Chain A
Amino acid sequence: MDSRPDLIPLLLGQLVFTAVATAVVLYLVLTRGRTVREGREQAICESLALANRTLPYLRQGLNRMTAKKAAAVIHEFLQPAAVAIVSGRKILAHVGAGADHHEEGQEPLTTLSRELLRTGRPLVARSRAAIGCSQAGCPLETAVAAPLTLRRQVAGGLVVYFGLSQPLTAGKVKMVRAMAQLMSLQMELAELDRQTERLAKAELAALQAQISPHFVYNTLNTIAAFIRTEPETARQLLTDFADFLRRTFRRKGEYSPFAQELEYVHQYLTFEKARFGDRLEVVYRVDPEILSTVVPVLVLQPLVENAVRHGISRKLGPGRVVIAAEDRGNECWISVEDDGVGMDAELVQQVLQRPRRNTYGVGLSNVNERLRSIYGPEYGLEIVSRPGEGTRVSFSVPKYKAGVEI
């Protein structure tokens, strides 16, 4: 093909087009949120923006670092002489004029702050005397103080000081009070966050401690039965059982590699095999590619225990459990299948709906709920069962999900 004379203009055009398009996109992205609006709307926008900027800090709770950052943002926005945040018996942050003697980490110098912390009432100081700073020559003339409350208790206070040239208007007083309320709300939320987290951790710990008593009872019985006939086997089983228990109690974290879950199941099955002998056959069909995939802890063992306890143990004659894990591109598919007694459709529904009373251990419903809450409702357990033929419980997890980390 000939080299065309019109090549270069065309190419230039394209490059210019790409460059301009990129510039426009970049401009839009970079200037988003900085658009100036007029009048009242602007004031609202600014307060909201201010709130928005202080919130993330306070969401982490009230301490010297977060207080300092929040105070700095308020100072930048209201442009007063100084902003202080006090809590307990200390000044957590003091940003602006007078920082030389209103030292952070020290007890408040002003009667205003002490009064605020004592009464928990919003206060306005219209004179130096009302502020009551013990230092001569303090540049702070007037002040607005508002309490920060946490669960109806005074947790601290926000004090905004103004200098000589800054008249104290009703608008400013309102603004500071609203600001303090907003900050209190954030601290409430932070506390709530921490509580939720604690609760989740406690739940997980409880979960891990919940080894089914049936299982412990059965295992100990099995070992007892071996002591006379095969003392060596009994000894081995007992050691394994101790190891298993230690592992169970020591596990931490919400997630673990799939390989670890498999090993745990393998260990668990040692005891079930000792108990059932030839009646229980276990087959693994595992793609090695997904051994390192991160999954929620204790996601597999309850499925296997369910297959053994409700599928195989109630069946006459030998049974078989197939544990399969398949690599399916961006997801992996995990299933536990038994050829035991099976369930009817009604029971299948019940199993997933709620934990039944008098059942111990981590039930299928718990696994189902955790999967759904981590990955979304479409990732729950799927149960296929027919009475007399067996049951298959399966689920799939994405190979990577932000936040699902060891």
Chain B
Amino acid sequence: MQVHWIALVAFAGIALATIAVGIYATRVARTTHDVYIASRAVGPVLNASAISGEYLSAASFLGIAGMVMSFGYDVLWYPAGYAAGYLFLLLFIAAPLRRFGAYTIPDFAEGRFGSPTFRRIAMCFVLLIGIFYMLPQMKGAGVAVQTIAGLPYWVGVVVVGSVITLNVALGGMKGITFVQAFQFWVKAFAISVPAFVLLAVFGSYSAHWEWATSSPPPALQAAIEAGAPGSAWGQPFGPLAERQGQPLLFTYSLMIATVFGTAGLPHILVRFYTNRDGHTARQTTLVVLAMIGLFYLFPPILGLLGRVHAPDLYLSGRTDALLLELPGRLPDRLLGELLRAVTAAGAFAAFMSTTSGLLVAVAGALAHDLYARTLHPRADLRERLRAFRFAALLAGAVAMAISLGIERFHINMLVGWAFAIAASAFFPLLVLGIWWRRLTVVGAAAGTLVGGGLASAAILYTMWAGDPLLPATTWSTLLAQPAIWTIPVSFGTMVLGSLLTPHRVPPDVNLKMLRLHVPETLGLRTDYIGE
């Protein structure tokens, strides 16, 4: 396999640049002699860039384009759901959660119900979701290095994984809003420029649509004959849903998982803490919606281009590498290599930002909740820092080890599963915890356990026992995409559990509700609560 040097240099370059910016530039940028402090707060646009940067992972950058190419426009439910999730955050969760002041979901669980036990349960799901979400990032790294350097899959996983893990463990990636915001713009640039250039060189979108669906060029025709999807590619309930026992059920379940999962992602919610108040939290979410919506215009276009110009990837089964392969199909070799360098840089930004955010969240949960609060409650500052480093290394190593065994799953599919677990475990907790007075700790804990537990069990079972794409029964659909029943079960358990234990409603529930819902500008809180 050929080595693409320019892309490799860009790949390594963006890694070094990110680390260097994290270590030196922010330190310089944050040092001043005289400041008007309030003006230095992170504004909604900057914070929205950072959230988008952390959110757009390998799944969005590499995965969607690859999956669109593999399965057609059915896959559009993924980006639509990923973006629409912020709508629910905007409407129901962002502002109250910010007002509450909780930094993580375990913080919310403990603060709202006053139960350290529930905090630990929530922490376990943070760990599970965090590790699960890291797997597709690692896979993306493996595939990317495979494509641009011609090295085996595991080399990419281990090298990129180690670089990111070490950077986090050495303290390079904590809450660095500027770096994450910068990564968003890198990704937005790296995904849009190739789309424009390729369309300019190869012809219009509608022409490509024609080729992809009704009049395939010879190479694509050959691929279709060898098993690639045919004209159904452009249809609703196309090749992705059609493989399921119940295409409609599958589609709805997928939408539900992606839409409700966003609220439960541990690395995203912590970013809302940076907002000044509930109002700016809402503004931030709105800007995120716009930014992410814009970004997701491009992967489907690149998927379409890939189907027409790189149909050989169907045969090799490496559609996840589409974004790195596609520039090579340009007639001008140098332009192709340069574009590949751009997408390689974007891909690295994608693994780096999301994996770092997840590692910080997971290591934070391990060090803060497990170590400092349970195992060694009297740990001092230095011991806590050491625990964080060790936890980051451990979590990174675990994620890398597991990723070596998941090469056969599509990046995007893995992310979809992480969303399903997050949606089942945390979405009902957040919605009911914020909006329902009568929720009790028993109900909430049972719902989180049942919903999250069932979703994880179903998904792990699917991963372990079956090819998620092959079995074609209703049962297998429900297992492969469980959100449609696990979220209602979780909600139901919470409501039932709470109604059965009315005496466990926290006595200070009205105070908590006040804290969650009264806008800061009313100034009610200091006076009213202070009484």
Contact call A331/B384, Cβ cutoff below 8 A: yes
Quick one: given A282-B33, A329-B364, are A382 and B465 in contact (CB under 8 Å)?
Answer: no
Contact call B273/A406, Cβ cutoff below 8 A: no
What per-residue 1/0 map shows which CB atoms of B6-35 lie under 8 Å from chain A? 000000000000000000000100111111
Contact call A330/B35, Cβ cutoff below 8 A: no
Q: Which residues of A contact B479 (CB under 8 A)?
A: 11
What residue of chain A has the Cβ atom nearest to residue B478's Cβ? Answer: A11
What residue of chain B has the Cβ atom nearest to residue A258's Cβ? Answer: B37
Q: Pick from A8, A252, A262, A289 the residue with the most CB of B within 10 Å.
A: A289
Asked if B294 is at the interface (CB within 8 A of a chain A CB), the reply is no
Which residues of chain B from 240 to 265 have a CB within 8 Å of any chain A CB? Answer: none
Question: CB < 8 Å: which of B277, B467, B500, B526 contacts A252?
Answer: B526
C-alpha spacing A394/B381, complex, angstroms: 10
C-alpha spacing A291/B276, complex, angstroms: 8
Asked if A10 is at the interface (CB within 8 A of a chain B CB), the reply is yes
User: In whole Å, how far is A183's beta carbon from the nearest beta carbon of chain B?
Assistant: 19
Quick one: given A378-B380, A400-B103, A400-B111, are A8 and B475 in contact (CB under 8 Å)?
Answer: yes
Which residues of chain B from 428 to 457 have a CB within 8 Å of any chain A CB? Answer: 442, 446, 449-450, 453-454, 457
Question: CB < 8 Å: which of B35, B37, B273 contacts A399?
Answer: B273
Q: Which residues of A contact B497 (CB under 8 A)?
A: 26
Q: Which residues of B contact A326 (CB under 8 A)?
A: 174
Contact call B379/A22, Cβ cutoff below 8 A: no
C-alpha spacing A173/B497, complex, angstroms: 40
Q: Pick from A283, A394, A399 the residue with the most CB of B within 10 Å.
A: A399
C-alpha spacing A284/B497, complex, angstroms: 50
User: In whole Å, how far is A72's beta carbon from the nearest beta carbon of chain B?
Assistant: 14
Q: Which residues of A contact B500 (CB under 8 A)?
A: 30
C-alpha spacing A285/B103, complex, angstroms: 22
Q: Which residues of A contact B34 (CB under 8 A)?
A: 282
Question: CB < 8 Å: which of A252, A282, A287 contacts B530?
Answer: A252
Contact call B177/A285, Cβ cutoff below 8 A: no
Quick one: given A22-B453, A252-B526, A263-B37, are A287 and B442 in contact (CB under 8 Å)?
Answer: no
Asked if B519 is at the interface (CB within 8 A of a chain A CB), the reply is no
User: In whole Å, how far is A285's beta carbon from the nearest beta carbon of chain B?
Assistant: 5
Question: CB < 8 Å: which of A7, A284, A286, A292 contacts B466?
Answer: A7
User: In whole Å, how far is B448's beta carbon from the nearest beta carbon of chain A?
Assistant: 11
Contact call B101/A11, Cβ cutoff below 8 A: no
Classify chain A's interface size. 35 or more
Question: CB < 8 Å: which of B30, B111, B177, B276 contacts A292?
Answer: B276
What per-residue 1/0 map shows which CB atoms of A1-20 lie under 8 Å from chain B? 11110011011001100100
Question: CB < 8 Å: which of A56, A263, A399, A402 contacts B110?
Answer: A402
Contact call A266/B27, Cβ cutoff below 8 A: no
Asked if A136 is at the interface (CB within 8 A of a chain B CB), the reply is no
Quick one: given A285-B27, A378-B379, are A11 and B364 in contact (CB under 8 Å)?
Answer: no
C-alpha spacing A294/B174, complex, angstroms: 18
Q: Which of B38-46, B136-144, B201-209, B211-219 contacts A (4 or more CB under 8 A)?
A: B38-46
Quick one: given A3-B476, A289-B177, A292-B274, are A22 and B450 in contact (CB under 8 Å)?
Answer: yes
What residue of chain A has the Cβ atom nearest to residue B456's Cβ? Answer: A18
Contact call A289/B526, Cβ cutoff below 8 A: no
Contact call A377/B378, Cβ cutoff below 8 A: yes
Asked if A259 is at the interface (CB within 8 A of a chain B CB), the reply is yes
Asked if B196 is at the interface (CB within 8 A of a chain A CB), the reply is no
Asked if A327 is at the interface (CB within 8 A of a chain B CB), the reply is yes
Q: Which residues of A contact B33 (CB under 8 A)?
A: 281-284
C-alpha spacing A331/B103, complex, angstroms: 10
Contact call B40/A288, Cβ cutoff below 8 A: yes
What per-residue 1/0 map shows which CB atoms of B65-96 lie under 8 Å from chain A? 00000000000000000000000000000000
Question: CB < 8 Å: which of B102, B175, B364 contacts A287?
Answer: B175
Contact call A18/B457, Cβ cutoff below 8 A: yes
Asked if A253 is at the interface (CB within 8 A of a chain B CB), the reply is yes
C-alpha spacing A259/B470, complex, angstroms: 56
C-alpha spacing A3/B468, complex, angstroms: 10
Question: CB < 8 Å: which of A22, A378, A394 contacts B449?
Answer: A22
C-alpha spacing A26/B501, complex, angstroms: 11
Q: Which residues of B contact A198 (CB under 8 A)?
A: none
Asked if B411 is at the interface (CB within 8 A of a chain A CB), the reply is no
C-alpha spacing A331/B107, complex, angstroms: 12
C-alpha spacing A18/B378, complex, angstroms: 37
Q: Which residues of B contact A4 (CB under 8 A)?
A: 465-466
User: In whole Å, how far is B459's beta carbon from the nearest beta carbon of chain A?
Assistant: 12
C-alpha spacing A377/B385, complex, angstroms: 17
User: In whole Å, how far is B234's beta carbon from the nearest beta carbon of chain A?
Assistant: 27
Known: A30-B442, A266-B37. 12 other contacts (CB 8 A): A3-B476, A14-B457, A29-B446, A283-B32, A283-B33, A286-B30, A288-B42, A291-B276, A378-B377, A378-B381, A382-B381, A405-B101
Complex A-B: 8 CB contacts under 8 Å: A18-B450, A291-B276, A294-B101, A328-B385, A329-B174, A329-B175, A394-B381, A405-B515
**Complex A-B, nearest 9 residue pairs according to Cβ-Cβ distance, in ascending order:** A327-B175, A3-B471, A330-B368, A399-B103, A289-B175, A400-B107, A329-B364, A1-B467, A400-B103
B-binding residues in A (CB < 8 A): 1-4, 7-8, 10-11, 14-15, 18, 22, 25-26, 29-30, 56, 252-253, 259, 262-263, 266, 281-292, 294, 326-331, 333, 376-378, 382, 394, 396, 398-400, 402, 405-406
